[in-house]
């Protein structure tokens, strides 16, 4: 299957600083990327959906000014956690889909995840 690379796999940052997480599709054009947050022993919670070249659509309850998403190219999306606090510590996972409109692929490919710890 297609490969999605997420970096870094682990990051520890100080409270109040910002952290950027990258998600790259290595062998296909990701027209749509999704960012999820996963709490311990819980399922994935969709944070936002981004389409290349347009603003991300955030799920209810997700602060768009805190979780900045950029999808500037068909192979790269970034999630920046701004002014991080300990409660932002979590496992963040991206996924990507290719195609668009009626040709959108139903299958999404997932990155390896990023474990963020804010101290």
Partner 1 sequence: AQSVTQLDSHVSVSEGTPVLLRCNYSSSYSPSLFWYVQHPNKGLQLLLKYTSAATLVKGINGFEAEFKKSETSFHLTKPSAHMSDAAEYFCVVSDMRGYSTLTFGKGTMLLVSP
Q: Which residues bind partner 1 (CB under 8 A)?
A: 1, 4, 6, 34, 42-44, 46, 49, 91, 93, 95, 97, 99, 102, 104-113, 115
For the bound state, the minimum distance from the C-beta of residue 41 to partner 1, rounded and expressed in Å, comes to: 8
For the bound state, the minimum distance from the C-beta of residue 94 to partner 1, rounded and expressed in Å, comes to: 9
Tokens, residue 60: 């209810």
Residue with smaller CB distance to partner 1, 29 or 105? 105
For the bound state, the minimum distance from the C-beta of residue 100 to partner 1, rounded and expressed in Å, comes to: 9
* Buried/exposed code over 10-33 (b: 16+ C-beta within 10 A; e: otherwise): ebebeeeeebebbbbbeebebbbb
Residue with smaller CB distance to partner 1, 43 or 60? 43
Peptide bond into 96 cis (omega under 30): no
| Residue recorded with tokens 């022993």 | 41
| Percentages (nearest 5) of helix, strand, coil residues in the chain | 5, 50, 45
Residue with smaller CB distance to partner 1, 1 or 61? 1
Residue with smaller CB distance to partner 1, 49 or 80? 49
For the bound state, the minimum distance from the C-beta of residue 101 to partner 1, rounded and expressed in Å, comes to: 8
32: left (phi over 0), alpha (psi -120 to 50) or beta: beta
């Amino acid at each position: 299957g297609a490969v999605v690379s997420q970096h870094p796999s682990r990051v520890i940052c100080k409270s109040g600083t910002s952290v950027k997480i990258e998600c790259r599709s290595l062998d296909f054009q990701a027209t749509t990327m999704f960012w999820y947050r996963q709490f311990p022993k819980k399922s994935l919670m969709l944070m936002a959906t981004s389409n290349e070249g347009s603003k991300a659509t955030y799920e209810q309850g997700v602060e768009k000014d805190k979780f900045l998403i950029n999808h500037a190219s068909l192979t790269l999306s970034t999630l920046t956690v701004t002014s991080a606090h300990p409660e932002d510590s979590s496992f963040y996972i991206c996924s990507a889909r290719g195609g668009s409109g009626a040709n959108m692929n139903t299958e999404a490919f997932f990155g390896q995840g990023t474990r963020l710890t804010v101290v």
